[in-house]
Each structure stands twice: as C-alpha cells, then as structure tokens.
C-alpha cells in the first residue's frame, strides 16, 4: 500500500457542538495474523484530526516491537482497504497495572514522557460519549474523510 502524505478526518455530530477528545483507530490488514491498529491523535473541538504517513509508519513499526509473533506482513504489502472505528477504551479501567507495565515504544516516545502520561491521554478520551459504526476507505485514494457520530445513549442508574 502506498500511503498518502496525510489522512485528515473530520467528525460531525448534530447532537454535540464540542467534538474534542475523540480517538479514532485505523485498522490495517497486512499478512495473515492480527490487523494493525493505528491511532489518530485526539480530535480538536471541531472534531478534526489527522495522521501523517510518518506517524502511520512509526505506529506500524511499534507493533513489531510490541509483539513480533502476533503480526506479520509489511506496510508495503498491506491491503489498501482500511477501516476506521472509534477506539474502544473499555478495557482500560479493568487492567491498568498490565497496561502501565509496558515500556513506551518508539512512536510513543515522540509524544509522551511516560507510559502513565500515555495512559492518561488515552483514558481521558470522550469516546464513550459517542457511537460510530465504522467505515472502510481505500488508501491512498481517500485522504479527507467526513464521519458522522451519534451521541451514545446514557446509561441510567438502576
């Protein structure tokens, strides 16, 4: 797959004015093992975020550093059809000690000073406030993407 110089994502939600703090996940399939998860930075208040080709390449490489046997395939050979979802933070509160025990990987070191800082950044996202079924796009053809979010239904106390 050839990467575009950057992928820009613009989220919209008719039910919300502030769309800051949302993390989207780009799923890339390469090889026959697990897909690669690449994370966009948090959205700004307008719901905009972007990933550069360099950030995608660095996060892709981090998968190899993290779990060599769980991934195979190269970015060059990856399927050009990728999927974008909201990142699901539900597992974070359940296993923080496991998550915090990992060292920062190469890309993460360019953005955070410690695993705790990374953890707090990810855990403070507002993803639980919104729903989005996901969308598949072709790279490098699609470089500007508009996605529509909906407000999540609030859970009522029993």
Strand 36-39 with 130-131, pairing: unpaired
Query: φ, ψ for residue 145 (rounded to 5)?
Result: -130, 130
11 closest CA partner among 153, 127, 139: 127
pLDDT of the residue at 158: 45
pLDDT of the residue at 47: 98
155 within domain boundaries:
no
**What CATH code is carried by the domain that includes residue 78?**
2.60.40.1120
> Which helix H or strand E contains 96, and what residues bound it?
helix 96-100
81 within domain boundaries:
yes
Domain count, the chain: 1
> Which helix H or strand E contains 46, and what residues bound it?
none
1 within domain boundaries:
no
Do 47 and 130 meet the contact criterion of CB atoms below 8 Å apart?
no
156 within domain boundaries:
no
Model's pTM, two decimal places?
Answer: 0.90
Q: What is the pLDDT of residues 2-19, one digit of tens each?
A: 899 999 999 999 999 999
18 within domain boundaries:
yes
Q: What is the pLDDT of residues 72-121, one digit of tens each?
A: 778 888 899 999 999 998 877 677 888 899 899 999 999 999 999 999 99
Domain that holds residue 64: 6-150
**Pair of tokens at residue 19:** 């769309």
């Amino acid at each position: 797959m050839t990467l575009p110089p950057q992928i820009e994502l613009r989220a919209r939600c008719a039910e919300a004015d502030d769309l800051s703090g949302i993390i989207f996940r780009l799923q890339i399939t390469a090889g026959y093992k697990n897909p690669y998860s690449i994370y966009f930075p948090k959205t700004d208040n307008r719901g905009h975020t972007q990933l550069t080709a360099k950030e995608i390449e660095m996060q892709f490489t981090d998968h190899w550093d993290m779990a060599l046997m769980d991934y195979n395939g190269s970015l060059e050979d990856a399927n050009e059809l990728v999927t974008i979802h909201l990142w699901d933070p539900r597992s974070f509160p359940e296993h923080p000690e496991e998550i915090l025990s990992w060292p920062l990987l190469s890309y993460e070191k360019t953005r955070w000073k410690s695993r705790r800082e990374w953890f707090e950044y990810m855990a403070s996202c507002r993803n639980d406030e919104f729903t989005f079924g996901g969308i598949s796009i072709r790279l490098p053809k699609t470089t500007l993407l508009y996605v529509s979010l909906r407000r999540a239904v609030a859970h009522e106390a029993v």
